[in-house]
Chain A
Amino acid sequence: MKELAAGIAMGAGAIGPGIGIGIAVSGAMQAIGRNPEAAGIIRINMIIGVAFAEAVAIYALLIALLLIFVAQRGI
């Protein structure tokens, strides 16, 4: 049961960040398309934005890891 919970936690928790990262990178691509000179600074800001969105996925991964490796028997 714990493994199932861990799988659901990680799976559901990756939907939001996946969409969020897609939106962020798409915005960055459009910005680079309009202004190729600013590609460097756009890339840096995109990486930072992606790191924030990814953090939420990492929170879900932490819950999954906690469930598998740390949760006591009988939960």
Chain B
Amino acid sequence: MEEFKLVVSLKPEPIMCIGGKMDAPAVCSKDTFFIVTNSTIATVLFMLITFFLLWSGARKAKLIPGRWQSVVEILVESLHNMVVESTSKRVAKVIFPLVATYFTWILFANWLSLIPGVGSIGFVRDVTEDGKVLKEMVPLLRGPNADLNMTFAMALLAVIIVQIAAIVSHGVKGWLKEFIPEPHWMDPLLTPLEIIGQFTRILSLAFRLFGNVFAGEVLLAVMLKIAAPSLIVFLGLEIFVGFIQALVFAILTLTYLSLVTAGGHEESHHDKEHEEHAKAA
């Protein structure tokens, strides 16, 4: 068997540059409209697979569920219980889709990227590095969460939605008051810390998920190179880590949201509006 060189690429490799041209060192030119990387292809593909899997468990729902419908029901029901325990039923109606989507998407993305072939099946192309022309192997698919763009986008969205939930629950003044914690004489120190704390949440969410998944991929590649028979153990570890990281991301988002929607007065206002609409209809 040929000796292969282990190449670890932090950034996903671009495969297609829409609107621009690809230069030799595998970088898209400046006028590219949209870069399609192997992680983009994998994201779209896994999204379709996840949607199809879950949808096929939910359509034609029978009262006595079949096997796959039971599995989907277990997933949805345990997530719903988790959300209702941390917040109230009213708040859960609004928050549950977000938290459940985060958990389900990250779980399926992590597990699907462990399928043999993701990250290993690809094509070879030329790359110029330091003036020399080398050949690099570009995988066609790459785990979506091994791309910092994906995890950063999810983390940014989560924190923005938390701020929006704070504004909806307590108004803009209530939201701004969150950044002014109790010992009021220490305000000039604590308020900037609280604001920075919000940004730290984005970074920590993004890097926790990215680090775990990417380091897992590197671990699998290194184990393949030095001790191939032990791979089954590390695959098991990666399955476990993928599940735990999905759970942690979802639980963190849920915790931030529950902290912010605790004791919201706006909720009862919305319920009264719903009652009036129902009576008029």
What's the nearest-Cβ distance from chain A to residue B149, in Å?
Answer: 15
A66 at interface by CB-CB < 8 Å: yes
B207 interface residue per 8 A CB criterion:
yes
CB distance from B36 to the nearest CB of A (A): 22
The answer to whether A62 touches B211 (Cβ under 8 A) is: yes
Q: For the complex, give the distance between the alpha carbons of A32 and B164 in Å.
A: 39
Closest B-chain residue to A73, C-beta based?
A: B130
B63 is an interface residue with CB less than 8 A from chain A: no
CA distance A48 to B103 in the complex (A): 14
Q: Give the secondary structure class of B's interface.
A: helix
Provide the bound-state CA to CA distance between A14 and B8, in Å: 22
Do the beta carbons of A48 and B211 come within 8 Å of each other? no
Across the interface, B207 reaches (CB within 8 A) one of A51, A62, A65, A69, namely: A62
Q: How far is the CB of B131 from chain A (nearest CB, A)?
A: 13
Instruction: Map CB proximity to A onto B205-223 as digits: 1 under 8 Å, 0 otherwise.
Output: 0011011101100100000
**Number of B residues whose C-beta is below 8 Å from A?**
17
**Contact among B208, B210, B218, B247 for A48, CB-based, below 8 A:** B247
A69 touching B8, Cβ below 8 Å: yes
Chain A residues with Cβ under 8 A from B210's Cβ? Answer: 62
Question: A59–B10 contact, CB under 8 A?
Answer: no
Instruction: Please indicate the chain B residues that have their CB under 8 angstroms from the CB of A66 in the complex.
Output: 10
Contact at B248–A52, with CB atoms within 8 Å? yes
Task: Count contacts between A and B, CB distance < 8 Å.
Answer: 41
Is the C-beta of A55 less than 8 angstroms from some C-beta in chain B? yes
Q: With A and B bound together, what is the CA distance between A55 and B248 in angstroms? A: 10
In this assembly, does A6 line the interface, its C-beta being within 8 Å of a C-beta of chain B?
A: no
With contact pairs A51-B245, A70-B10 given, residues A65 and B208 touching in the complex (Cβ less than 8 Å):
no
Q: Is the CB of B215 within 8 A of A61?
A: yes
Minimum CB–CB distance for B189 against chain A, Å: 24
With A69-B8, A69-B10 known to touch, is A51 a contact of B248 (CB < 8 Å)?
yes
A48 and B251 within 8 A (CB): yes
Q: Of residues 215 to 257 in B, which have CB atoms within 8 Å of A's CB atoms? A: 215, 218, 244-245, 247-248, 251
CA distance in complex: A16, B207 (Å): 18
> 17 A–B contact pairs at CB < 8 A?
A47-B244, A48-B248, A48-B251, A51-B247, A55-B208, A55-B211, A58-B207, A58-B208, A58-B215, A59-B207, A59-B211, A62-B210, A62-B211, A65-B10, A69-B9, A69-B10, A70-B10
Q: Which residues of B contact A (CB under 8 A)?
A: 8-10, 204, 207-208, 210-212, 214-215, 218, 244-245, 247-248, 251
